[in-house]
Structure 1
Amino acid sequence: MTVTMRPIQALRLWQEVCLHEVHDEAPDLTMRQMAILFTIYLEAPPHTVRGLAQKLNVTKPVITRALDRMGAMKLVSRHRDEQDRRNVLIRRTVEGALYVERFGDAIVGKALDLPT
């Protein structure tokens, strides 16, 4: 499948999705938190704080703060790696999976609504 969009159309789509999220009272995530969440849900596990920090080119404390917020919203959970207690494994949750799926549906829905 190929989608062709001009930059202004892509920006309009992003605006519409953002407005939908605000109106829907969805969790208010930063761009960094969204990048972390999508990495966890769209790429194969395992995910660690160290690995996410490397992927996003940020420090481990930056990832930890983002995970604290997302954990409070039940979008992800953290557990010590039983094989290597130094590692913290990040796991998907049902709530997080539903959030990501709903977000994807919102993008598709808003894209279909855009004028051609």
Structure 2
Amino acid sequence: MSEKRMPTIDQMLCFAVYSAGHAFTRFYKPRLDALDLTYPQYLAFLVLWEKDDITVKALGERLFLDSGTITPLIKRLEARGLVGRHRDEEDERQVRIRLTAEGRALKDKALSIPLAVIDGVGQSFETTEAMRRELVALRERLDKAAG
């Protein structure tokens, strides 16, 4: 009968994903420092550049962040004049986020970042895209398994 062994940390998929996430953060840091953005703030901008004037709830859901995390992030961006918050005209309970002119202008400064990632990964766009699809599928399977 074979003895069951605990896999080492380096054999764990979760650690490979976790440590890759940290490597991404280190890779992004100097590029985002030039824009005076944190990684979560950059992700929020990616969503807002794609679709402006969305609810705080929608932004949090898109980024997998709860309201306790997303609200301070938005407040910091608002204090810098990059976004504005306003009540939804149809549902006063909902707060919407809208880019300011300064927030929209930041997009031009950030355009080189996705290309730098492709270069940094050192693989073709097609290979990188296939990896991204696999990670999305993994996340979806884990979400389903978690209930």
Shift of 1:105: 4.3
Residues 20 and 66 of structure 1, relative CA distance in 2, 3 Å threshold: closer
Which secondary structure does the structure 1 equivalent of 2:46 belong to?
helix
User: Hey, what's the Cα distance between the residues in 1 that align with 2:56 and 2:74?
Assistant: 9
Q: Deviations over 1:22-55 (max 9, x none)?
A: 4x4x3232x111111110112x344111111111
Unaligned ranges ≥5, structure 2: 1-22, 121-147
Match of 1:41 in 2: 49
Letter in 1 for 2:36: P
Match of 2:123 in 1: none
Matched residue count:
99
Match of 1:61 in 2: 68
Asked if 2 retains the 8 angstrom alpha-carbon contact of 1:78 and 1:89, the reply is yes
Shift of 1:20: 4.9
Unaligned ranges ≥5, structure 1: 1-10
Which stretch has the larger CA shift, 99-108 or 66-75? 99-108
Q: Deviations over 1:51-76 (max 9, x none)?
A: 11111222112111100111111111
Structure 2 residue 102 is the aligned partner of structure 1 residue 95: yes
More helix by share: 2
Give the aligned CA root-mean-square deviation in angstroms. Answer: 2.9
TM-score, length of structure 1 as denominator length:
0.66
Asked if 2 retains the 8 angstrom alpha-carbon contact of 1:80 and 1:86, the reply is yes
Match of 1:7 in 2: none
TM-score, length of structure 2 as denominator length:
0.54
